[in-house]
Amino acid sequence: MKILTGNSNLPLARAIADYLELPLTDASVRRFADEEVFVEIHENVRGEDVFVVQSTSYPCNDNLMELLICIDALRRASAARITAVTPYFGYARQDRKPGPRTPISAKLVANLITEAGADRVLAVDLHAGQIQGFFDIPTDNLYAAPVMAADIMERYDAQSLMVVSPDVGGVVRARALAKRLGENVPLSIVDKRRDKPGSSEVMNIIGDVKDRACILIDDIIDSGGTLCNAAEALMAAGAASVTAYLTHGVLSGKAVERVNNSALKELVITDSIQPTEATAASDRIRVLSIAPLVGEAIRRIADESSVSSLFD
């Protein structure tokens, strides 16, 4: 088994390699003067089970090309099996046609990864579960919920908790987290109306959040508008505090500034995307590592053992 990485999230790749007690595969992933991506693998991978760790986060297109070219280089070097490990799968929000003459880009990216030569895909908290069906190769979707639940139970009394979904679409995710935290942990929903992409208007809170330590749970935070509006509405409804747990900290534009000025007690994200300097400098944002989770899944795939039992 070998671990190869692109440039999108080197700290996470190194942490995964450390967990597996393996060195990262010696390779160069660099640019020509015109920004063309070039990959050269400096050690033998013939007959090896190779895992390519690469989040397709910002700059999304560059990191996606790095992933595709790494896979192609491994295929031409006769690797026995190639697994694309994408802790953050870019383009996942384009999983359906929201209107006429629009693409389903998540399916296109799935086709590209498959055609490049990947034999398997490993992702974390895909934005939409049906994306697994976009691939014609085995696809494992890991959940960060166990990591988040362990952190929440260390810091909060289960009797005071309330798990909150920031929209109706996230109820299944919120219910799964609430179940992990305890049978009696209640669930609430923020009912909102979105007028256009990137903006949202909170309408009302479904559930009694008064004097509760509210845990907002979602998979992606991008601009942060939805989350900050939800936190403000929850506090206005009498919540004792609002903490948000999200898997993928995209945090584009002024998102970090928005979080710093919000009603949120804390925003907790994972390192599926390498935190920016602004994110790391914020005293309102904390990062949990998913390296042990991804590393253990990689070990089990290599050993041909159960991955789903990680979440039992």
Kindly name the residue from 179, 192, 254, 265 that is annotated as catalytic.
192
Q: Is 159 annotated as a binding residue?
A: no
Residues 190 and 231 in one domain: yes
Which residues in the chain land under pLDDT 70? 193-203
Question: What's the number of domains the chain is made of?
Answer: 2
Evaluate whether 206 touches 191 at the Cβ level (below 8 Å).
yes
pLDDT at 52: 98
Sheet containing 2-5: give its strands across: 2-5, 49-53, 81-86, 120-124, 139-142
Residues 274 and 152 in one domain: yes
Calpha distance 261→299 (Å, rounded): 41
Residues 278 and 209 in one domain: yes
Calpha distance 29→9 (Å, rounded): 13
Residues 152 and 220 in one domain: yes
Residues 156 and 136 in one domain: no
Query: pLDDT digits over 161-212, tens only?
Result: 999 999 888 999 999 999 999 888 999 999 876 556 655 565 689 999 999 9
Evaluate whether 262 touches 285 at the Cβ level (below 8 Å).
no
CATH code, domain carrying 81? 3.40.50.2020
Handedness of CA 117, 119, 121, 122 (dihedral sign): negative
Residues 115 and 182 in one domain: no
Evaluate whether 122 touches 131 at the Cβ level (below 8 Å).
no
pLDDT at 196: 61
pLDDT at 167: 86
Domain membership of residue 95 as a residue range: 2-142+292-311
Q: Is 194 annotated as a binding residue?
A: yes
Residues 150 and 284 in one domain: yes
Residues 258 and 159 in one domain: yes
Q: Is 289 annotated as a binding residue?
A: no
Residues 110 and 244 in one domain: no
Residues 114 and 238 in one domain: no
Q: Is 198 annotated as a binding residue?
A: no
Beta-carbon-side half-sphere exposure of residue 141 (alpha carbons within 13 Å): 15
Q: Is 226 annotated as a binding residue?
A: yes
Residue 192 known to be catalytic: yes
Peptide bond into 59 cis (omega under 30): yes
Residues 187 and 225 in one domain: yes
Residues 31 and 80 in one domain: yes
Q: Is 93 annotated as a binding residue?
A: yes
